Structure 1
Amino acid sequence: MRVLLSLCVTLLVLWSTVQCHHGPQHSHHDSNAANGSLRIYQENLDFAFRLYKHISALPDSQSKNIIFSPLSVSVALAALSLGARGKTHQQLFEGLGFNGTDITAEEVNQAFQHIQQDLNEKTDLDLSLGNALFIGQNAKLRPEFLESMKRYYQSEGFSTNFSNIEEAKQQINKYVEEKTKGKITNLVQEVDPLTVMYLINYIYFKGKWEMPFHPESTLEMPFFVNNTTTVTVPMMKENKKISVYYDAEIATHILQLHYNESVNAAAPS
């Protein structure tokens, strides 16, 4: 039997600054959850950068745009760890950047639960984040796993006939297409009839810049893909202070741009 994990590649690199300062109307429990979410978020940043370095070093990534969501990958792997035990759980946990002696799995699950709720409740963004389990008809999953997936990771569950390859593909792809508003239309292209379960993470994002670029300042200019290739593309222009980090190890600048609702895009160059 095989368990396959599929990750939806997203429209941009998405970072979310978790709001940890609540007004008097929020309970002490809510404040603790928010502070825990911020701690998980900070510790998981290392995973995001390690993942980017790995992807950017692949031969197929050379001179190409790399677009992915570290949050989406982290959520999917953390959700997968719910069903893992022993060495497998330890590897998933440590791979995400967490130390089992400093933080518990329950704290991680609660933090990701809070982060997802915080993102899905934002009103000035068109954003949705969630997970889905497509479960083989003969698979016997523990009820506590399904309950925890729904509680912590807002996961829906669907019975899927993987022996009918075309039907299974259509079921999964239709779900992802609907959740991403038509942006991802053919996530699964092949299905193994021996598959036990698919864990799908989806994220859809459409937002407005916190400080918009002026359209009249957008000009057609050359973009240097590498030392020998140049293409002409529309270049946005704005004079303002922004956060930039230089990673000397891979000779890359990280540019941070703010959207509304405390959501940021990180653009390596």
Structure 2
Amino acid sequence: MKIGGFGKIKDYLPIAEAGYDFAELDVPEIADLSGEALDELQKSIKTGVPIQIGSRLLPVAEPLFFEEGFKPESLEPYLEEACGKTARLGIRTLILGNGKARWIRTASERPKEEAFIEALRLMARKAEENHQELILEPLGPKYSNYINTVVQAVQLIEKVKINNLFTMADLRHMVAAGEPFQDLQTYLPYIHHIHMDYPLSYPERNYPSVRDGYDYRVFLDSLERAGYDGTLTIEADIPENWHKACRQVMEVLEK
């Protein structure tokens, strides 16, 4: 399994130097780069430490997909730029988290799910044009009220019916939604990425620690039994000391 660090563009070199296998960076920040700035970031990528994952695909922090008048095609210009620029950096996986964007204000909005499905198809197609995959991230109930579990994500993926759309599992959100870790084994073919942090704090996202009182073994053992051998990002708040944070994580994983 490859272990990644999560941050912004400014955090890439500290992530690489701390000893992580890859970096997971913010997509909207990359999409906003000028051509010259993108070239500079591309030159800074260290051999063996790729920017492998792009998080928070859309620059949206308010309800969108289920709003009156939403048209999936309105996303196309941004997706063209975001997918093209991230692909230039070698990013092959894009994560649609954006919990507020998919927030459903009232029960009457749920019939509008078809617009969200069409938006997923558009996002997946744009990713595929750039040899990327799209991941629909389940988010716990404090972050979104639509697609809270791996099971729900898989059910929607089966409706979308497009080959490069997958889901992921996040320890924090599985715990918050009360989702059994057995689902990691049941839905392994759909799971293409993992997030982990200390799952019991909110809104803080602390780094896992052998001294925080949480038993990470249950989650990690479930991943091992499932045969998962992909990418795992420590998706936590930006640490003051990347080397110390990385050592702290590795201590948890080793134990």
Shorter-chain TM-score range: under 0.3
| TM-score, structure 2 as length reference | 0.27
The TM-score, its normalising length taken from structure 1, stands at: 0.26
Higher helix residue share:
2
Larger Rg over CA atoms: 1
Q: Which structure is higher in strand share? A: 1
If asked which structure has higher relative contact order (CA below 8 Å, sep 6+), I would say 1
